[in-house]
A and B are shown apart, each in its own frame.
Chain A
Amino acid sequence: MADLVDDDLVDYSEDEEFNEDKLNDEDYDSLYDALPKLNGKVAQYNDQIGDLDLKEALYYNYFNIDDAFNELKERYPKKKQIASVTKAKSNFASPSPDDKVTAAQNRSVEQDMSELKIGTPEKTPTPTDKTVLKNTKPFKKINLPEELTSNETFKKPRKSFVVIGHVDAGKSTLMGRLLFEVGAVDGKTVNNLVRQAEKLGKGSFALAWVMDQTSEERNRGVTVDICATNFETDKCRFVAIDAPGHKDFVPQMIGGVSQADFAVLVVDAIGGEFESGFSMDGQTKEHVILAKSLGLDRVCVVVNKMDKENWAEIRYKEIVSQLNQFLTSCEINFDSSKIDFIPISGLTGTNVAKRDGKIQEFSWYKGPTFIEYLNQVDTGKEAITSDIDTVLQESFRMVVTDVHEISNSDFEITGKVDSGVIQPGETIHVNPSDEYLPIQSITLHEKPINVAVRGEIVSFMFKKSNLKSKSFEDVRRGDILSQINSPVKAVKNFTVRLNLFNMKKPLLVGTPFVLFRNNYSVPARLSKIISIEGGKKKQHLVSKQVATAEIEIRDRPLPLTNYEDTKTLGRVVIRREGITIGAGIVVDL
């Protein structure tokens, strides 16, 4: 390697690019010796890195395959910016003009050879590949690790939670109260709502109306759809998702769960109300089962309307012990260390942000207020700064939660980033409508940002003119945005490992049901039972069975990944006739 170092450091410049033509023979041989090996290695981890990048990596790492691989791992998908940093370490002299000629001759031969040797065309797209041409570079060149660690927004821990529970437990009211207490909604707005609500004789609904915005929801007094809202305290950023409690709107609630890191379960403390929400048909139970099956492993139980029970400790204890028993039972299986309880009153606001000592009956409670709890709670997911390396390696995925028209020429897609990072200027692929769209800008909490990263709920702006179909109606809630050449597939048939709950009727081959993946629901049916755990193979499944089965989608294809690939995108839940009957993970596409 000594011959690589040249005394003539004057030739070295910051802008120097790797140029294959300028290599000397020896370098050339080493390069093409190492390339296929590296290629094989890289293909397993990320098959989107072009040949040129591989060569570059080898070149700057003195043709050491392992070093080059590590570098690629570090900097992918960022190519140039970090390359220029590493470049500073190397100092090469330009080869002589003669070398150039021979190198060029060698190259034409060896390029072919090396491509023959690689022999895995599906994994190594050449730069001339059509899809790669559609790829675009970010508008701004930024140092990603630095951006992610230094940006004020990313530094503050982010927590997202979904508020679940039986209908009329007070979920929306609690959310309204919370937003009012942290200052996300001003007193004027609330006063306005109070006046409007009183006019209609629905005084107690005023706070809920902060979240329940549609005329239908206000007239009927129930939440219909989820509503995600952002707010901040001095310690954390929050995304709060208010979910509907009514049985008919469980599909919407599932969409809310898919965006959250943990669940806030609201239960009504009033005698009889708690019990009815908790009975077999009550939503308390179904919501909890869904939240757990969709991957939320932390739950905070908010015992609401304690003022109506005169803040009685006995009542609170009774509810806590019942719920504890239920949540840790083998059917639900929450870890007892990940369950917390807080008594509050959403309507009066006691113990939401603060509690005054005036309520004698409540003096027994020494724990945190709801907001204190939210600030303290460790979701295990909020700190992006700690594993930047992993995030940068991941390939970008996002599930669409909303599509909005902004103007005649632009539209916006909102969603939670499931993995990886992406910057404005890069092109994403929309599955299953098969659109390739360059991102015009990215916003987070209504503020423009340079990079979207895993876990954040962000909005991308696109130009309608970039759409093949010219209509953004084809991009729907539940579609997956990904990097070009990602393994996300839109499928009609796939194999799941299914875990069935209690059912009133068996699940027959051919039985139709509604399949949920994140916030996407689609009619589907069981097309084949492959095996039943601990039983002989039949044409039907009964309660509590675990089975591997094939599912057929009876609508447009569903974009999916294997559970192994992206956990959040490989989970499904099935419901029939309004009852959740099973959950599963995708094992094969």
Chain B
Amino acid sequence: MRLLKQSFEKDRSGSVTLVPQDKEDLWQCYNLIQKNDEIKLSTHRNIKKASGGGLTGGKEKGKQERKVLTLRVSVEDIEYLPSEDVMRIRGKTTEPNEFVPLQSYHTAEIELQKSFTLYKEDWDEVSFEIISKACSIEEKAEVGAIVLEDGVAHLCLVTDNMTVLRNKIEKSIPRKRRGEGGGGSHDKALTKFYEMVSTTVFRNFDLEKLKAIIIASPGFAASSLLDTLNTMATRENNKIFFQNKSKFIVAHSSTGYLQGLEEVLKDPSIQKSLSNTKFAREASAFEEFQKVLNEDDGRAWYGASEAEKALNMGAVRCLMLTDSLFRSDDISIRKHYIKLTEDAKGQGVEVLVFSSLHESGEQLNQLTGIAVLLKYPIVDLDELEEE
């Protein structure tokens, strides 16, 4: 994300002008923009032609014209699909315009490479942090991942904040049969399947841009796929593949379903070759949380009230929460969680904000969205002070 301009007042209100540059930036914008913020951007709108006088006036009346306008909109609703490169915001205009009356509804699209200005009444720490992180010049790593088993393959892109499923390939593979030398239709279907996956990889992955491409599967499917990629690239004389061949990493997962990806990302040997640490840190912290929870000795808790109680007692070692908590439409809830994280940081607690577009964040979301690891066991945390 590029930051073009910023101006803040003493009362913490102010504006920034941003240019989102990739999918991940859009996701950050989605976390940044809240209800009642104002956005100024150039956008398309269908305008009814004014009924001017003269002979042609009658004809032109009622016809619509599509115009590019600069509007300032007070946000009421934000819509974002990770699989699309666009985000829609809806709200009422707050500045008069030649063509658009005040307080009329408008839906605008925030697109890649297009600037917009965001006004907020109150810039809090979380918002600041999002901007500073998103705009850091540190190179952003995008990793391609193929998780597969015989008959099904998932192609994904993994960035700091999100996992996006690009393609799912399915093919039914007949069983091997005794008496069919060399496997017969089973082998044929399997070869076809690998070729389908390879074609999709070449078509959808920008091998030059990706930092690494992980191929993960149970058994031998991953290495078979790499062989097929090799053969096909040789046949088609695909130079780009050979230039980037060292980026391919074959890994092991217990399943070819999407959940296999998290297993791989947790693997320390894979993490080493990625150096992309945010999701890896999230995945391993959540893993640790689960392990401690399994020991059931009162050192791991989830739920808002449990987490708060533990924080008040100063017992928390690590606080995990998902970004969806901050996305609440209710300002007071957002404020509450911001205060909570600030308090925690003040205590020297490690605070991890999980992206809900990663598997571990999604899981934490299901589990109330907030969890804590404690320094020492507190057995009846959920029952304390309740009476």
Query: What residues of chain B lie closer than 8 Å to A224, measured between beta carbons?
Result: 150, 219-220
Q: Any chain A CB within 8 A of the CB of B174?
A: yes
Q: Any chain A CB within 8 A of the CB of B175?
A: yes
What is the 8 Å Cβ interface bit string for chain B, positions 278-306, against chain A (1 contact, 0 not)? 00000000010011011010000011000
Q: Any chain A CB within 8 A of the CB of B171?
A: yes
20 new A-B contacts at CB < 8 Å, known A228-B175, A514-B259, A542-B296: A213-B183, A213-B186, A224-B219, A226-B175, A229-B178, A246-B219, A248-B254, A251-B218, A473-B171, A477-B172, A505-B294, A510-B362, A510-B367, A523-B257, A523-B259, A575-B254, A577-B254, A578-B254, A578-B255, A579-B254
A472 to B, closest residue via Cβ: B172
Q: Any chain B CB within 8 A of the CB of A518?
A: no
Check B218 against A248 for contact (C-beta < 8 Å): yes
Q: Any chain B CB within 8 A of the CB of A92?
A: no
Query: What residues of chain A lie closer than 8 Å to B176, measured between beta carbons?
Result: 213-214, 217, 225, 227
Check B291 against A578 for contact (C-beta < 8 Å): no
Query: What residues of chain A lie closer than 8 Å to B180, measured between beta carbons?
Result: 213
In this complex, the interface size class of chain A, counting residues with CB under 8 Å from chain B, is 35 or more
Query: What residues of chain B lie closer than 8 Å to A402, measured between beta carbons?
Result: 174-175
CA separation between A525 and B367, bound complex, in Å? 12
What is the 8 Å Cβ interface bit string for chain B, positions 247-263, against chain A (1 contact, 0 not)? 00000101101110011
Query: What residues of chain B lie closer than 8 Å to A336, measured between beta carbons?
Result: none
Query: What residues of chain A lie closer than 8 Å to B362, measured between beta carbons?
Result: 510
CA separation between A229 and B218, bound complex, in Å? 25
Check A505 against B255 for contact (C-beta < 8 Å): no
Distance in Å: Cβ of B13 to nearest Cβ of chain A: 38
Q: Which of A210, A476, A510 contacts B172 (CB 8 A)?
A: A476
CA separation between A288 and B370, bound complex, in Å? 39
A226 to B, closest residue via Cβ: B175
Q: Any chain B CB within 8 A of the CB of A309?
A: no
Query: What residues of chain A lie closer than 8 Å to B368, measured between beta carbons?
Result: 539
A509 to B, closest residue via Cβ: B366
What is the 8 Å Cβ interface bit string for chain A, positions 509-544, against chain B (1 contact, 0 not)? 111111000000101010100000000000110110
CA separation between A542 and B263, bound complex, in Å? 20
- Pairs A-B, 5 closest by C-beta atoms: A510-B366, A578-B254, A214-B183, A248-B218, A523-B257
Most B CB within 10 A of own CB, among A216, A227, A578: A216
Q: Any chain A CB within 8 A of the CB of B365?
A: yes
Check A215 against B293 for contact (C-beta < 8 Å): no
Inter-chain residue pair count (beta carbon < 8 A): 130
**CB-CB contacts below 8 Å: B362-382 with A:** 362-368
Distance in Å: Cβ of B233 to nearest Cβ of chain A: 21
Check B255 against A514 for contact (C-beta < 8 Å): yes
Check B294 against A504 for contact (C-beta < 8 Å): yes
CA separation between A249 and B358, bound complex, in Å? 27
Check B294 against A473 for contact (C-beta < 8 Å): no
What is the 8 Å Cβ interface bit string for chain B, positions 156-188, against chain A (1 contact, 0 not)? 000000000000000110111110111111110
Query: What residues of chain A lie closer than 8 Å to B38, measured between beta carbons?
Result: none
Known pairs A539-B302, A575-B254; A248 contacts B219 (CB<8 A): yes
Q: Any chain A CB within 8 A of the CB of B238?
A: no
Check A403 against B172 for contact (C-beta < 8 Å): yes
Distance in Å: Cβ of B182 to nearest Cβ of chain A: 6
Known pairs A248-B218, A504-B294; A401 contacts B175 (CB<8 A): yes
Q: Any chain B CB within 8 A of the CB of A404?
A: yes
Q: Any chain B CB within 8 A of the CB of A220?
A: yes
Q: Any chain B CB within 8 A of the CB of A197?
A: no
Known pairs A215-B182, A511-B363, A514-B257; A505 contacts B172 (CB<8 A): no
CA separation between A404 and B363, bound complex, in Å? 39
In this complex, the interface size class of chain B, counting residues with CB under 8 Å from chain A, is 35 or more
CA separation between A506 and B295, bound complex, in Å? 9
Check A542 against B175 for contact (C-beta < 8 Å): no
What is the 8 Å Cβ interface bit string for chain A, positions 483-510, against chain B (1 contact, 0 not)? 0000000000000000000011110111
Known pairs A225-B175, A227-B178, A575-B254; A509 contacts B263 (CB<8 A): no
Q: Any chain B CB within 8 A of the CB of A281?
A: no
Check B363 against A211 for contact (C-beta < 8 Å): no
Q: Any chain B CB within 8 A of the CB of A405?
A: yes
What is the 8 Å Cβ interface bit string for chain A, positions 129-170, against chain B (1 contact, 0 not)? 000000000000000000000000000000000000000000
Query: What residues of chain B lie closer than 8 Å to A225, measured between beta carbons?
Result: 150, 175-176, 186
Query: What residues of chain B lie closer than 8 Å to A217, measured between beta carbons?
Result: 176
**CB-CB contacts below 8 Å: A210-251 with B:** 210-211, 213-217, 220, 224-229, 246, 248-249, 251
Most B CB within 10 A of own CB, among A227, A249, A251, A525: A251
Distance in Å: Cβ of A32 to nearest Cβ of chain B: 51
Check B367 against A213 for contact (C-beta < 8 Å): no
Query: What residues of chain B lie closer than 8 Å to A228, measured between beta carbons?
Result: 175
Q: Any chain A CB within 8 A of the CB of B142?
A: no
Distance in Å: Cβ of A330 to nearest Cβ of chain B: 21
CA separation between A45 and B353, bound complex, in Å? 56
Q: Any chain A CB within 8 A of the CB of B323?
A: no
Query: What residues of chain A lie closer than 8 Å to B347, measured between beta carbons?
Result: none
Q: Which of B187, B218, B294, B302 contacts A214 (CB 8 A)?
A: B187
